[in-house]
Structure 1
Amino acid sequence: MLALQCTLRADAHGRACLPAGLLRAMRLHGRAEVWGELAHGAWLQPPDLRSALVKVQLLDATVQDQIPGRSARRRAAHWALKPAPLTLPSAAPPALRLMTLILAAHTCDRTVHCAEMDVLAHLCGHSPHQTAELLDRLVATRTLSVWHHDRAMDEVTWQLPHVSSSPAPGVAPASVAAQGFSWDGGRRPKHAQSAAPKPHPVTGTGTTTSTASFRTSA
């Protein structure tokens, strides 16, 4: 989440400013070890965390060549903190917030949403098993009503609670979605922008394998 906010808020020279209030909202204020991990990977220069406005210099050259404009990226940064239509308790840890953001970026205007397990695991930086545990926690917090892993297809499907009877307008700001912005640092492939979820059931019946996992809230 921290790297994402830095990337979205960076200017053409790789400089970004993160207010202390923003870091507190992400539950990352004063977490020097998180900044240390990014600095150790030569992704940014270690910032001065004593300031109320943390100024960051990013070292990754790809950050300086982002296609979406800065205003669109700022709107995306704001949306990333509260990625509608998914909602989380304010005390949710960063790992759960990142998982929620990734799911929101893959959520469409259908009732059932889907993505490949290896894609979700790669984007959240966890193993498939850890990713499954995070999905379980999202069901426990009622952020998701149900999720299902088809092991044969390696595809995860999920459903949100309180699904509206009318199609949702979309999950990301229209200006961002129109530019094909993706949350893995680049532009989303054309097929990913228009792909509709495959009609896999989430009721535990139908064309699923005997080894598939199926989890629901109590």
Structure 2
Amino acid sequence: MRLRTECPPAARAWTVELRCQTGELVLVCRQCPHSGRQVTAESARSAALAHLARHARGDLRALHLRTCQCHERGCRWHRRHRGCAGSIRLLLACERGGRVWRLADACSACAVATTQASVVPDTVLVELPCPPSARPHRARRSRGPGERVRVSEMLSYLAVALPADASPEARVLALQCALRMNASMRVQLPAGLLRSLGIDAAQVSRELERAGWLSVMDSPRAAGIAAQLLDATLLAQAPARPDRRRAADWALRNGCPARAGAADPGLQLLGVYLTVHGDPSSGNGSRECDWIKRDCGMPDQALPGALDQLKGSGVLKGWRICPDSGDMHWILASEQE
């Protein structure tokens, strides 16, 4: 019976050298027969490490099949020590001031005795880098107040910043602009968003221009509008723009014509106002009528009719005005968030 002699496994040791040839820097690999590509001085180190990593990834094997390559060569890569011992790990070593780079399996004792060297974790080679689209995204934590509070505070501010006779359309557009602006106080509103608001963007933007609140940079067109806001007080908002944009989207969803039951911007604005001032859990809300009419820009005689329309469309479950105090109490039909 003939015994089969097992061939020794290939050595897990790779070396690259950076050589100067005719004034150029060339990367040469001692294991690659046709190596010798030109590199720049800035990228030489990265190119050398990337080349070594490709060799190691192409020769992955179980830990019990790996041996100390330093010991196989008579331990010529380091000072003398008591002998090989410990687990086998990949060791990256640098020689000749960065001209030579070596990646090889070495035991713990040889790794400690080798100068200008460091152990490379196996996970660096096993786990290939994922493309940006495949990387798991950590959930971003919101900063500052929530959507309800942001919208409520902005409506209260716009009631003071805009003229008292500003139309509901202008207040709806100003709310979206104020919450979506960037650090340069510029805002880009796409056409789809403007259609969701159900307003005439050209007419409303001219009204806000006459009020000195914004300046249109691009005339309203099929792609939307771009504007520069002129109210410097808006820079005092919390700086987290993603949170402000989330609040703007929240106001858009809760004030859309389908929810308000009509395309009337006054109803949209009133529906959002009552939602942000209602209790999220019970739906109950209470506010002075004068404050509601001021913040929504609504005439005295228009409020009862608007409330009846919101009740008929399912936004409100009920409402009443206390004749003694002038407070209005309402109940939201359902949670709006």
- What TM-score, normalized by structure 2, do the two folds share? 0.45
**Contact in 2 for aligned 1:44/1:56 (Cα 8 Å):** yes
Asked whether the 8 Å contact 2:213–2:231 carries over to 1, the reply is yes
Aligned mate of 1:19, from 154, 176, 190? 190
Q: Are 2:194 and 2:201, in contact at CA under 8 Å, matched by a contact in 1?
A: no
Q: CA deviation at 1:52?
A: 0.3
Deviation beyond 4 Å, 4+ runs, structure 1: none
1:7 to 163, 175, 178: 178
**Deviations, residues 8-59 of structure 1 (Å, cap 9, x unaligned):** 001122101101000001112x442211110100000134102504111001
Q: Is 1:154 matched with 2:333?
A: no
On the 8 A contact 1:12/1:65 being kept in 2, the answer is: no
- The question of whether the paired residues in 1 share the 8 Å contact of 2:278 and 2:332 is answered with no
Cα gap change, 1:135/1:83 in structure 2, threshold over 3 Å: closer, same or farther? same
- The 3-state SS of whatever aligns with 1:100 is helix
Partners of 1:145 and 1:160 within 8 A in 2: yes
* Counterpart-to-counterpart distance in 2, 1:102 and 1:158: 12
Q: What is aligned with 1:38?
A: 208
Unaligned 5+ segments in structure 2 are 1-171
Q: Report the AA paired with residue 192 of structure 2.
A: G
Cα contact 1:149–1:156 (8 A) shared by 2: yes
CA-to-aligned-CA distance 1:158-190 (integer Å, 9 cap, x gap): 1123x5xxxx6xx66xxxxxxxxxxxxxxxxxx
Tell me if 1:99 matches 2:275.
no
- Please state whether the residue corresponding to 1:12 is helix, strand or coil: coil
* Conservation of the 8 A alpha-carbon contact between 1:115 and 1:157: yes
- Decide whether the 8 Å contact of 2:260 with 2:267 is kept in 1: no
How far apart, CA to CA, are the structure 1 residues paired with 2:240 and 2:323? 39
Contact 1:9/1:16 (<8 A) preserved: yes
> Percent of counterpart pairs with the same letter?
36
**Inter-partner Cα distance in structure 2 for 1:38 and 1:115:** 28
Select the structure with the greater relative contact order (CA < 8 A; seq sep ≥ 6): 1
Superposed, 1:157-172 pairs within 5 Å as 157-161=329-333
Displacement, 1:65?
2.0
Secondary structure of 1:145's counterpart equals: strand
Alignment of 1:2-151 (within 5 A): 2-28=173-199, 30-46=200-216, 47-67=218-238, 69-83=240-254, 88-89=259-260, 91-108=262-279, 109-151=281-323
Structure 1, gaps ≥5 residues long: 173-218
- State which structure, 1 or 2, has the greater radius of gyration over its C-alpha atoms: 2
Kindly indicate whether the alpha-carbon contact (under 8 Å) linking 1:20 and 1:53 is maintained by their aligned counterparts in 2. yes
State the SS of the aligned residue for 2:316.
Answer: coil
Q: Write the letter of the residue equivalent to 1:65.
A: A
Deviation at 1:143, TM superposition (A): 1.4
- The whole-number CA distance in structure 2 between the counterparts of 1:57 and 1:21 is 20
* TM-score, length-scaled by structure 1: 0.68
Instruction: Give the aligned residue type for 1:41.
Output: A
